[in-house]
Amino acid sequence: MLGDLKEQRGAPYALKDLSEPANRRAAIIALGLMGDPRGTLALIPFLKDPVLAIDAVNALGNIGDGRAAAAVLEKLKDPEIQFTGAGVWALQRMGKSAVGVLVPALQAGSVNQRRCAAQGLIGTNDPAAIPGLRQALADPDEMVRRHAAQALGWRGNAAAIEPGFQPALDTAASELIAEPGTRVVVEGHTDDVGGEAYNYELGLRRAEAVRDYLISRGVAADRLTVKSFGMTRPLASNATEEGRAQNRRVELHISNGAQKNVTP
């Protein structure tokens, strides 16, 4: 029956079979395998079913439709170890379509909801999530802070420009173009994971990535100088993940005295 639902009968027939208790679990699984967003709203009620909730959240994760994010988060209000892993995976699959639900949950949700919302935002690189994630770095729960730090900023040893950096960099480029007489030192900084030589090179690569991005937005190359301080000028303690996230940064030092941190 499952193969029939998946390959021959299609979503309308699987949706119809949701009303048949004997076929219900197979229909839920089939809708997930098909990944058809027509199944999203029909599957949401099954998150409240004590027997079918896991199948429903897995199916919703396969579909990846952000319309289910609020219902998944509601189910995650209380920590259920078995369900939490599936719920986080589903939220991550929903990606950018769930940002509008996940960001408010960072502040207003239960501890488990805040943890799962922060995890769900990892990898989305959506600029709309940055303010909420920054606030979550001060959350009283260590796991929320850790996941928020992972969702923000440079990832560990990464040096590429993340999509979440672009709005701040675009603004900086516009301001620099409007002040053509200024010169800029682009400084790269890291956390303390790895040795000094490694982090010096990593900071330099980050600064070079920002310089190249600014040039691509119209800033004259001869106005930009890159410099790396590696791990030597931390803003926060490297003893915590949230502190390390703050230390992974690039700053612009402008000859008119202005200073900008241009990465989240």
For the chain, the straight-line distance linking the first and the last C-alpha, in angstroms and rounded, comes to 50
pLDDT at 258 (0 to 100): 67
Number of compact structural domains in the chain:
2
Contact 123, 133 (CB under 8 A): no
pLDDT at 243 (0 to 100): 79
The answer to whether residue 215 is domain-embedded is yes
pLDDT at 3 > cutoff 70: no
* Most confident residue range from 80-94, 215-229, 236-250: 215-229
pLDDT at 10 (0 to 100): 64
Q: Which tokens sit at 141?
A: 């729960």
Which of 57-61, 228-232, 237-241 is the least confident region?
237-241
Q: Which residues contact 4 (CB under 8 A, 6 or more apart)?
A: none
What's the whole-model pTM score?
0.65
Which of 1-5, 146-150, 189-193 is the least confident region?
1-5
Nearest residue to 131 (alpha-carbon basis) of 159, 172, 102: 102
Which of 92-101, 136-145, 174-183 is the least confident region?
136-145
Residue 218: CATH number of its domain: 3.30.1330.60
Domain boundary among 64, 99, 115: 64
Nearest residue to 93 (alpha-carbon basis) of 70, 55, 124, 130: 124
The answer to whether residue 141 is domain-embedded is no
Separation CA 127–CA 50 (nearest Å): 37
The answer to whether residue 157 is domain-embedded is no
Of the pLDDT bands very low, low, confident and very high (cuts 50, 70, 90), residue 87 is: very high
Separation CA 199–CA 157 (nearest Å): 9
The answer to whether residue 54 is domain-embedded is yes
Domain boundary among 40, 64, 88: 64
Residue-number span of the structural domain to which 205 is assigned: 163-261
Residue 32: CATH number of its domain: 1.25.10
Domain boundary among 64, 93, 108: 64
The answer to whether residue 235 is domain-embedded is yes
